[in-house]
Amino acid sequence: MKHRALSIYAFAYLAFLYVPVLVLPVFSFNNSEFIAFPLSGFTTRWYAGLADDSAMLHALANSLKVATVTALLSTMLGLSAAKAVTHNRLKGAGAALGFISLPLFIPDIVLGISLLLLLGATGLPLSLAAVVLGHLLVCVPFALTVLIARFEGFDRNLEEASTDLGENGWMTFWRVTFPLMLPGIVASLLLTFITSFDEFLIAYFLSGTEATLPIYIWGQLRFPERLPMVLALGALILTASVGLVILAEYLRNLGAKKPMVGA
């Protein structure tokens, strides 16, 4: 009985999560400039309009650049820090972890503004590089959390065996550590990429004239006639992200099944 109530609740909750998100594709195919019911026929013109929008394409390219660099850097930093705190009994490892995780306890707007002040004081320009630095603050703690969890289930003896058998540090990393960590690395890359790709509050203060995609979207929300196109963009982002998640899951399974020595 209790069980059935929970199941009903679960489906109601799914509806709560999905209805607002489904608004995006529904209105992106609606043949009217006004985002209101009743719907007035099917069109693909909003999608066609997107392809000709050079400002949008430029912002998309910027976001892809920022998210790729952020994902790679934060996963590399997370990987080395996670290895340090799980494999070496370092004095002060707890304090270092606490410091690295600090951005999780600070509102993003404060991170963005403090970096804006730093740029102002040092005379450095607002730029995509500044956005990457800001995104690293939020992404490194995520990467670290994912990677530490993976390292904790990791048999240290495998690395030692590799060293004993005469492999140097780099070869041990590439042939033992890396394949074993691959699922964690993929998860970290995915999480940090999506976080950076969607980040608005920090980029808002740091991007200057080079808009990222969320900055572009924010600018468009002020113009009612641009909204259907923005919703089409949202529907496309949703589709692409779902595809990416499925791909990552596929790769993760592939990695998990691979015999680790032959990798």
Partner 1 sequence: MTVDRGRNLGRGYRLLAPTLAVMGLGLAAPLLLMAVTSLKSQNGISLTEGWTLAQYGAVLGRASYRSLFLRSVLISGAVTIVTVGLAYPIAYYVAFHARHKFIWLVALTIPFWTSYLLRVFAWKIILGFNGVINSALMRLHLIGQPLEFLLYNPFAVVVTLAHAWAAFAILPIYVSLEKIDRSLLEAAGDLGDSRLRRFLRVTLPLSMPGVIGAAILIFVPTTGDFVTPQLVGGTKGIMIANLIEAQFNGVGNWPLGAALSLVSMALVGVLAGLFVASARAATRAAR
Site for partner 1 in 125-154 (CB under 8 A): 133-134, 136-137, 140, 144
Q: How far is the CB of 262 from partner 1 (least distance, A)?
A: 27
Rounded Cα distance between 216 and 32, Å, is: 22
Q: Which of 189, 191, 237, 255 touches partner 1 by CB under 8 A?
A: 237
C-beta of 212: minimal distance to partner 1 in Å?
Answer: 11
Q: Could you say which of 106, 247, 261, 263 contacts partner 1 (CB under 8 A)?
A: 106
Site for partner 1 in 48-87 (CB under 8 A): 77-78, 80-81, 83-85, 87
d(CA 263, CA 207): 41
Q: Give the integer Cα–Cα distance in Å for 250 and 246.
A: 6
| Burial group, residue 180, by CB count within 10 angstroms (0-12, 13-18, 19+) | buried
CB of 105 to partner 1, least distance (A): 6
Min separation Cβ 119 and partner 1, Å: 9
Please report which residue ranges of 29-92 form alpha helices under DSSP H.
Answer: 45-51, 54-87
At closest approach, how far in Å is the CB of 184 from partner 1?
15
Touching partner 1, residues 150-189 (CB under 8 A): none
Tokens representing residue 199 in the block: 């980040």
Cβ–Cβ under 8 Å, residues 1 and 10? no
Q: Does position 231 bind partner 1 by CB under 8 A?
A: yes
CB of 73 to partner 1, least distance (A): 8
What Rg, from alpha-carbon coordinates, does the chain have? 22
Q: 34 Cβ partners below 8 Å, 6+ apart?
A: 224
The residue among 134 and 184 lying less far from partner 1, judged by its C-beta, is 134
Residue with tokens 């992404």: 139
| Identified binder of partner 1 from the candidate list 126, 238, 248, 260, rule CB under 8 A | 238
Q: Among the candidate windows 13-21, 46-54, 181-189, 254-262, which touches partner 1 by CB under 8 A?
A: 13-21
Binding segment for partner 1 (CB under 8 A), chosen from 35-43, 151-159, 176-184, 254-262, is 35-43
Q: Which residue has the tokens 């930093």?
A: 77
Helices 54-87 & 213-220 angle (0-180, nearest 10): 140
Total site size for partner 1, rule CB under 8 A: 82
